[in-house]
Amino acid sequence: MADTLNTAVAILRKNKFKLTKQRHALLEFLLTNQGHYTDVVTVDAYMRTEFPGMSHNTVYRNLKEFEEVGIVEQNTEQERTRVKYQCDFHHQHHHHFICQNCGKVTELQMCPMDFFTDQLPGYEITGHSFELYGICAECKAAGVSADPDTLVKN
């Protein structure tokens, strides 16, 4: 865990960001929740509890800056923005399977873009987003079904 935190600190310094107490606390919070996406509202509430004078704008700006330098991954689902600590600093382009019950995020090792690029000769693809949703092996073994009416909303 310390190596991951050191990597994030090095990325901040490389991009000329100061490592303030607030940024350090934000990194630690995200690292503690590394295996799951966390709602930005939850991150904001935590940070404002730890630093009562901190504004919403400061929290959101720091999350955006962390995303821009590759420390944070962002996900938007049903108009809710969620963030998580970067899975893999060496392979920033990757995709996820997200458990709809527990919220566990599993990194996928393959990108399906070649499949689509082959079907669109002459086209220029400028970006994409790809995530799989379902029930992780642990939740399935515990008897959780993929019934959308019984799933926990993360």
Say what the pLDDT of residue 145 is: 80
pLDDT surpasses 90 at 13: yes
Average pLDDT over residues 117-137: 82
pLDDT surpasses 60 at 124: yes
Say what the pLDDT of residue 98 is: 78
Of 149 and 52, which is predicted with more confidence?
A: 52
**What is the rounded distance in angstroms from the CA atom of residue 76 to the CA atom of residue 32?**
21
Contact predicate 27/71, CB 8 Å: yes
Residues 83/84/88/91 CA torsion (nearest 10 deg): -10
Q: What is the pLDDT of residues 27-68, one digit of tens each?
A: 999 998 887 888 899 999 999 999 999 999 999 999 999 988
Say what the pLDDT of residue 131 is: 74
Say what the pLDDT of residue 154 is: 45
Contact predicate 85/71, CB 8 Å: yes
Estimate the crossing angle of helix 40-50 against helix 21-32, to 10 degrees.
Answer: 130
pLDDT surpasses 70 at 148: no
125-151 core/surface letters (b: 16 or more CB in 10 A; e: else): eeeeeeeeeebbeebeeeebeeeeeeb
Lowest mean pLDDT among 2-11, 20-29, 110-119, 143-152: 143-152
Q: What is the pLDDT of residues 65-118, one digit of tens each?
A: 998 888 888 877 777 887 877 755 555 566 777 788 887 877 777 777 777 788
117's tokens: 């690029």
